[in-house]
Amino acid sequence: MASFMLSLIDIRCLQLEEETLELQGEIDILKTRYLSSDHIFTEAKDLYTRWPTLPREEKRKVVEFWLRKSLLVQMKSR
């Protein structure tokens, strides 16, 4: 009976180790997303700060880029 209980404990330990690895993977994904969103925010803030001094052609490129991106997202969602 004792060896049976030990076996159940071993099985549960393995299950917990597996769950721990899965959770660590999820944490890593969330960290990456957070860092990416932080980088995007920093870039947007920089663009906002520089916008008044950007040449007209640069402003046009920025607007065209985001317009194309928006249209692609809309087309994919249909």
The token pair that represents 4 in the structure block: 């049976």
68: number of CA atoms within 13 Å, CB side? 6
What percentage of the chain reaches a pLDDT higher than 70? 96
pLDDT band at 71 (very low <50, low <70, confident <90, very high): confident
Question: For the chain, what are the domain ranges?
Answer: 2-76
Rounded Cα–Cα distance for residues 2 and 43 (Å): 61
pLDDT digits (tens, 9 = 90+) for 56-70: 999 999 999 989 988
Rounded Cα–Cα distance for residues 52 and 75 (Å): 32
Q: Has residue 54 got a pLDDT over 90?
A: yes
pLDDT digits (tens, 9 = 90+) for 7-29: 888 999 999 999 999 999 999 99
With tokens 């870039």, the residue in question is 43
